[in-house]
Amino acid sequence: MSGSAPTGQSTTGWVRVMRRKPISTLVAESGADTGGGELRRSLGVARLTMIGVGSTVGTGIFIVLNEAVPKAGPAVVISFVLAAITAALTALCYAELASTIPVAGASYTYAYATLGELIAFLVGACLLLEYGVAASAVAVGWGEYLNALLGDVVGWQIPAAFSAPPGEGGILNLPAAVLVTACCLLLVRGAKESATINAITVCIKLAVLLLFVAVAFTAFKAENAQPFAPFGAAGVGAAASMVFFSYIGMDTVSTAGEEVRDPRRTLPLAIFWCIAIVTTIYLLVAVAGIGAQPWQAFEGQDAGLAAILSDITGSGWPAIVLAAGGVVSIFGVTLTTIYGQTRILFSMGRDGMVPRFFHTVHPRRRTPVRNTLVVSLFVGLLAAAVPLNTLANLTSMGTLVAFTVVSAGVVVLRRTRPELERGFRVPGYPVVPALSVAACLYLISQLPWSTFLMFAVWIGLALALYFTYSVKHSALAAGEVEPARS
């Protein structure tokens, strides 16, 4: 890959957009090897793992199961397995890059160091789509569980006009807007406080989901899984591509690179623990849910897991517990997903790819306060007005594109910088990165054409921003950082 010409020397358009940021500069800016940096380093393996689990468990199980089962039938279990295999392959690639480039920004930063500025910017755009839309998607589903809880406890629910977005029978999803506001206020206080609250929500949600599994298996009927794959391989693939956005937590872990202690060790460990916990919980709940009720009943079922428990027990308390668990856990998912998006913008702002406004850190709190306010406003508006299934597919697209780039980045960095210190190396190289890329591309191919159209519009807007602003204002263009050499 060609490096950029020295600062001040004329360059061709191709060389300009392919300039790379030196890894030594990335590591020095973050303070990864000195324990310093602009953000406060307060997270260890346990808290970081909880951030990953917190941004993942809740999304695919509490909400998307009811969207995915009608697409695949009982074979949705295979869809979760496909998504898990893809995530596991990519996790190995993430672990290597995270241990080599332990900074904030996740796959955006990895792409900037390996594949060049334009590709990095587009990956950043995918991540912003991934995080912003994922947070909105989860916030949309929060209203369902809040209404289920209110109905069971006080016999009253928020009117449909103010608890669902336009297109799903409502005018405005007010609970979603309230949820995002609460997450914004907590994130402004600091990463450590947010991580502590998130850890509490993770423990609650895991306990509630294990309760669901225990109760649902008492009503397990094999006939509920018949026919197993009514829509064939196409249905399994379509459901897998939808539920894949549930694995966003792995990327969220790597966005915290500048807020963890001993990042070269902490990041890979947290990624592996996150994948193991999430996959186990997803498969247990999916199998238990499919066995507890006919798969046809999932379609149009609000607060699905709570409804299943209510039908099984004939009593209200298990459903109340599950609905309360959904309310708490979805809060945690929204919190950590918004956190991830603010850290992507923080890194892009430092690089001059977006206005430096997003890189500003509050002197006392040491958090990007103004960045967090802007992100929360965007997420809140999106959650209040856009239907869930549209948001889920868009998030899957952004996630899969970012994961593809990370897997390719491992190969590029092994070839161009074999001497770099790596806290972890992908086993089975280069087969594992190649399989990861192939699996991601397969899941992308299963998304509906409307998702490709919306994604193309988003990428078009990103390209317009890059060529009118970022290419001229990036730190590399301004000479603030010397580009990497081949």
User: The dihedral of CA 355, 133, 362, 36: what is its sign?
Assistant: negative
- Comparing 303 with 11, which gets the higher pLDDT? 303
- What's the pLDDT band for 63 if we cut at 50, 70, 90? low
Q: Is residue 27 part of a domain?
A: no
Percentage of the chain modeled with pLDDT above 70: 84
The mean pLDDT value for 227-246 works out to: 84
Q: Is residue 349 part of a domain?
A: yes
pLDDT surpasses 60 at 252: yes
Q: What is the CATH number of the domain that holds 104?
A: 1.20.1740.10
Q: Is residue 36 part of a domain?
A: no
Query: Which region, left, alpha or beta, applies to residue 59 given φ > 0 means left and ψ of -120 to 50 means alpha?
Result: alpha
The mean pLDDT value for 185-194 works out to: 77
**Contact criterion met (CB below 8 Å) for 109 and 101:** yes
User: In this structure, which amino acid lies at residue 149?
Assistant: L
- Confidence (pLDDT) at 482: 60
Instruction: Give every CB contact of residue 322 below 8 A, 6+ residues apart in sequence.
Output: 208, 211, 212, 305, 306, 309
- Confidence (pLDDT) at 60: 58
pLDDT surpasses 70 at 486: no
Q: Is residue 11 part of a domain?
A: no
Q: Is residue 254 part of a domain?
A: yes
Domain count, the chain: 1
Average pLDDT over the chain, rounded to whole? 80
The mean pLDDT value for 81-90 works out to: 87
- Comparing 31 with 468, which gets the higher pLDDT? 468
Task: Extract the tokens encoding 156.
Answer: 């009253």
Quick: pLDDT tens for 450-463.
Answer: 889 988 998 999 99
Percentage of the chain modeled with pLDDT above 90: 8
Q: Is residue 395 part of a domain?
A: yes
Q: What is the 8-class DSSP label of residue 260?
A: B
The mean pLDDT value for 231-235 works out to: 89
The mean pLDDT value for 177-200 works out to: 80
- Comparing 246 with 94, which gets the higher pLDDT? 94
- Comparing 319 with 186, which gets the higher pLDDT? 186
Give CB contacts under 8 A, 24+ apart, made by 195-200. Answer: 195/42, 195/43, 195/47, 195/48, 195/50, 195/51, 196/47, 197/332, 197/335, 198/50, 198/51, 198/54, 198/332, 198/335, 198/336, 199/46, 199/47, 199/50, 199/54
How far apart CA 384 and CA 387 sit, in angstroms, is 9
- Confidence (pLDDT) at 462: 93
- Confidence (pLDDT) at 475: 83
How far apart CA 96 and CA 98 sit, in angstroms, is 6
Q: Which of 105-114, 243-252, 405-414, 437-446 has the lowest mean pLDDT?
A: 243-252
- Confidence (pLDDT) at 121: 92
- Confidence (pLDDT) at 322: 74
Task: Extract the tokens encoding 19.
Answer: 């300039």
**Contact criterion met (CB below 8 Å) for 85 and 439:** yes
pLDDT surpasses 50 at 8: no
Task: Extract the tokens encoding 446.
Answer: 């299963």
Q: Is residue 222 part of a domain?
A: yes
Quick: pLDDT tens for 385-406.
Answer: 666 556 667 777 888 888 898 8
Of the candidates 259, 282, 307, 293, the residue with the CA atom closest to the CA atom of residue 205: 282
| Domain housing 110 | 41-474
Task: Extract the tokens encoding 221.
Answer: 């009927």
pLDDT surpasses 90 at 431: yes
Of the candidates 73, 64, 62, 76, the residue with the CA atom closest to the CA atom of residue 212: 62
Q: Is residue 480 part of a domain?
A: no
pLDDT surpasses 70 at 46: yes
Of the candidates 232, 299, 286, the residue with the CA atom closest to the CA atom of residue 70: 299
- Comparing 245 with 344, which gets the higher pLDDT? 344
Dmax (CA) of the chain: 75
pLDDT surpasses 50 at 5: no
Residue 347 CB neighbours (<10 A): 28
- Comparing 377 with 244, which gets the higher pLDDT? 377
- What's the pLDDT band for 2 if we cut at 50, 70, 90? very low
- Confidence (pLDDT) at 115: 85
- Confidence (pLDDT) at 297: 84
For the chain, the first-to-last Cα distance in angstroms comes to 7
pLDDT surpasses 60 at 84: yes
How far apart CA 223 and CA 217 sit, in angstroms, is 14
- Confidence (pLDDT) at 7: 41
- What's the pLDDT band for 62 if we cut at 50, 70, 90? low
pLDDT surpasses 60 at 425: yes
- Confidence (pLDDT) at 59: 56
The mean pLDDT value for 127-154 works out to: 76
pLDDT surpasses 90 at 159: no
The mean pLDDT value for 187-210 works out to: 81
pLDDT surpasses 80 at 291: yes
Distance of CA 110 to the CA centre of its chain: 16
Task: Extract the tokens encoding 53.
Answer: 């689990």
